[in-house]
Amino acid sequence: MRVSKLTKRMFPQYLLLPALLLYFVLFLIPNLASFYYAFTNWNAVGSVVKFIGFDNFREIFSSASGNGGVFRNTAVFAIYTTVLKIIIGLLLALLLNEGIRTKNILRAIFFMPITISVVLTGIMFSEIYSPDGILNGLLKLVGLSSWTHAWIAEPQIAIWSVATVEVWRASGFAMAIFLAALQMVPKEIYEATEIDGAGSFQKLFYVTLPYLYQAIVLNTLFGMISGLKVFDLIYVISNGGPVRSTEVLNVTVLNEFSKGAYGYSTAMGLILFLFVTLAYFGVNYVFKKFEVDVS
């Protein structure tokens, strides 16, 4: 695309430079350069770094490493949290957009969890989920004793329990993005449907949703990226256990890093990077296909 002189003058490239420079030097260079080490045997105990080709990757994907579950857990976590965050966030945004007197307080409360440190959230939920914790206590109270579980100690359900904490934590953020987008829906269009007597559901579907398209894309991308890269929440609550049933890629990356296996750890990181990139373009592709034009 050619740029007109006016555009050049109006939007000079130098406004872009400070951010680019800072980011390029302090973030991009060291972290991309590290990918070279994915192809080496770099280890804290060895003095020589040797190029070993794809050996690290072969080992990561070997059946003996038992990493299959790690990939599965990462995918489960990312998809489950993204879907639920969007559903809950959208629901909250639609309900809190207007008409409710206490909407400001309610918005504040629903957004609040993301402002609490993950470490604290983790400690909190470890206790809530424990066999004699609040959750089971509540279930027993309402007569659902058979539903009680050791929520983060049973390998089959642990990853879902941990992922639910992320939904608890970040649905409010999805809500905020949806709310911001809802402010863009022209009042007249909204009112027009009301006069027509369109039912709430139809109104939501035909009128509001197209305007929320950008916000849905944004939330899906944020959800997938942060979901695939999740680390601290799992580290605090379950540290990947029991028996690796909640171990996700970034937990393996850090565990190997702590052992000093820098080459192997970076290789794992590179795989994660490729996954997230893939997910990003996948999501973009899908949304492009269904793009709705609102303008």
Partner 1 sequence: MRNKKGLSILSTAIALTIFTGLLAGCGSNNNKGAAESSQSASTASASASPTESASPSATEIPKQDVTISLTAASGDTWIRPIDQEIIADFTKETGIKVDVQIAPADQYAGVLKAKLAAGEGADISLIWPEANAAQFLPDTNFLDLSNEPWVSTLTDAAKRNGTFNGKFIGWNPEGENAGWGIMYNKDIFSSLGLEVPKTFDDLVAVSEKIKASGVTPIYEPLKDSWHSGIWFALMGPIGEKNNAGLMDKLNQNTASYADVPEFETFLTQYKTLYDNGYFGKDAFSNTWDKGIPTMQSGKYAMFMVPSNMDVQSKAQYPEFDFAKFGEFPTPLADNRSLAVYDGTIIRVINKNSKHIDAAKQYLSYISRPDVLDKYYAASGLNPAFKALPAIQADLEKSLRANSDGTVNTTMETGIQFWDSTAVGNYVQELLAGKKTPKQVLEAIDNDRKKIFTAQAQ
Partner 2 sequence: MSGSRTKSRLVVEIALWCSTLLILIPLYFVIVNSLKSATEVQMMTAKLPAVFHFNNYVEVLKKANVPRAFMNSAIFSISSIVVCAVLSSMASYILVRRNTRINGMIFNLFLVGMIAPMNMVTTFKLMKTLHLINSYYGIILLYAASFIPFTIFLYNSFIRNLPTDLDEAGVIDGAGPLRRYISILFPLLKPVTATAMVINFVGCWNDFVFPLYFVTESSKWGVILLLYQFIGAYYSRHDLLFAGATMIALPTLIVYLLGQKYIISGMTAGAIKG
Give just the sign of the alpha carbon dihedral 205, 208, 210, 213: negative
Q: CA 123, 170, 233, 72 torsion: positive or negative? A: positive
By a kind-dependent CB cut-off of 5 to 8 A, residue 280 interacts, out of partner 2, partner 1, none, with partner 2
86 or 176, CB closer to partner 2?
A: 176
Tell the smallest beta-carbon distance from residue 50 to partner 1 (Å): 6
CA–CA separation, 260 and 43 (whole Å) = 5
Chain centroid, CA 25 distance in Å: 26
- Applying CB under 8 A, the residues found at the interface with partner 1 are 41, 43-48, 50, 64, 66, 130-131, 150, 152-155, 235, 238-239, 241-244, 254, 257-261, 264
Q: Nearest approach, Cβ of 41 to partner 1 (angstroms)?
A: 6
Q: Does 243 bind partner 2 (CB under 8 A)?
A: no
Q: Are 169 and 86 in contact (CB under 8 A)?
A: no
Which H or E run contains 190? helix 187-195
Instruction: Please identify, using beta-carbon distances, which residue of 193 and 239 lies nearer to partner 1.
Output: 239
Cα-Cα-Cα-Cα dihedral of 68, 73, 75, 81, to 10°?
180
Name the minimum Å distance from CB 158 to partner 1. 9
Instruction: Give least dist CB 277 to partner 2, A.
Output: 6
Regarding 192 and contact with partner 2 (CB under 8 A), the answer is no
Q: Which is nearer to partner 2, 41 or 155 (CB)?
A: 41
Say if CB 111 and CB 172 are below 8 A apart: yes
CA proximity to 222, closest of 291, 259, 293, 171: 171
Q: Which does 144 bind (CB under 5 to 8 A by kind): partner 2, partner 1, none?
A: none
Q: What binding mask, one character per residue, do residues 92-111 give for partner 2 by CB under 8 A, x or -? A: x--xx--xxxx-x-xxxxxx
Under the criterion CB under 8 A, does residue 250 sit at the interface with partner 2? Answer: yes
User: Under rule CB under 8 A, which residues in 55-94 are in contact with partner 2?
Assistant: 92
Site membership for partner 2, residue 206 (CB under 8 A): no
Token digits of residue 203: 């109104």
**Quick check: 146 binds partner 2 (CB under 8 A)?**
no
Q: Which helix (H) or strand (E) holds 160?
A: helix 155-182
From partner 2, partner 1, none, interface partner of 76 (C-beta below 5 to 8 A by class)? none
- Under the criterion CB under 8 A, does residue 30 sit at the interface with partner 2? yes
DSSP line for 196-239? TT--HHHIIIIIIHHHTHHHHHHHHHHHHHHHHT--HHHHHHTT
Asked if 15 touches partner 2 (CB under 8 A), the answer is yes
Shortest Å, Cβ 236 to partner 1: 9
